Amino acid sequence: MTRYILGRILSLVFVLFAVSVIVFSVMHAVPGGPFDATDGKLPPAAMENIMRKYGLDKPVWQQYLNYMGNALRFDFGIPYQQPHTTVAALIRKTWGVTVQVGIMTLIVAFGIGIAAGMFAAYNQNSWVDNLVTFTTTLGFTVPNFVVAMWFILFFAVARQWLPMGGWGSSQCLIGSFFCTDWILPVIAYSLAPMAVVARYTRASIVDVKRADYIRTARAKGVSERKVMSKHVFRNAQIPMVTALGTEIPNLITGSIFIESIFRINGLGKFFVTSTLNRDYPMIMATFLLIALLWGITYLLTDIAYTVIDPRVRLGGRKEA
């Protein structure tokens, strides 16, 4: 286990290095720069001072080495569009909102998704199963920004039951734990992962129900409730963990569509503006953060496999 974890950490370091090289190279290969909007409006001497201040007058390889040297000391630079703060402070400010949205979305998506998948599997090939399958197919195919616009038109514009956007700016219930402007973005954001979880849950439970040891348990007279709770659901958890591992990084790094449509000042929305403005330090820090989250999540997912099923051994071996 220890050797496997150390190997994964070393591979994660290599992935972060590769991501940094690729992103930095692509950023500088794209035509245009962070201060092109001021071209022609500032004297050449002033433009040279700006480029020198941010180190953009140096060769690309030297800019990369300077940036990564500072990043290793957790200094990710100053955002070009907001020079009064730092990239780290800006990420802390915006990512907190995004994580809040993501956690609430995870709770809704996995709570309803697991319940729907189990209900469909227990009633396989019935109208309930068909309804869940049809609903999850819609969740896959209809983009979340389309669902968000439908929600706004119906619940906010036509009925005026809920606010059109914002985050924590409307009336909150139970202190600041629940606010009405959280409902529409969380539901719209959770539909796609909810569909993924429901499909994974249904497929894994249906597959486990056909196993020989399930038939043996029933033949021994074990009650159906105990068979489902102790054998079926427990052995069907690994595919669910797989679904959870792939969805966590997506949800806690933000959706550019949901955050833009509902006017949520999170990391996803700010990443788009940083990309459009060629804010190199912010783009680099965001990509490194996303790569780090993906690597950590997949490592924790692999470790969770061994907790759920003791037969699983890290490193590709599985006991009989």
In the CATH hierarchy, which fold is given to the domain comprising 95-277?
MetI-like fold (1.10.3720)
- Residue ranges of the alpha helices (H) in the chain? 2-29, 44-53, 60-71, 87-122, 127-141, 144-151, 183-209, 212-219, 224-226, 233-235, 237-252, 256-261, 267-276, 280-308
Domain boundaries, the chain: 95-277
Q: How far apart are CA 28 and CA 32, in angstroms?
A: 8
How far CA 54 is from CA of 163, 205, 277, in Å, comes to 41, 56, 15
Bridge-based pairing state of the strands 172-173 and 312-313: unpaired
What pLDDT does residue 315 have?
Answer: 55
- The helix/strand/coil state of 277 is coil
What pLDDT does residue 207 have?
Answer: 82
Instruction: Decide: 237 and 308 in contact? Cβ < 8 Å.
Output: yes
pLDDT truncated to tens, each residue of the chain (320 aa)? 677 778 878 888 898 899 999 999 988 888 777 777 555 566 777 777 878 887 878 888 898 999 899 888 888 888 887 888 888 888 888 888 888 888 888 889 888 988 888 888 888 888 888 888 888 888 888 888 888 888 888 888 888 787 777 666 555 555 455 677 778 888 888 888 898 888 888 888 888 777 787 788 778 887 777 777 777 776 677 767 777 777 777 777 777 788 888 888 888 878 888 888 888 888 899 889 888 888 888 888 777 777 766 665 655 544 43
Q: How far apart are CA 123 and CA 108, in angstroms?
A: 22
What pLDDT does residue 317 have?
Answer: 46
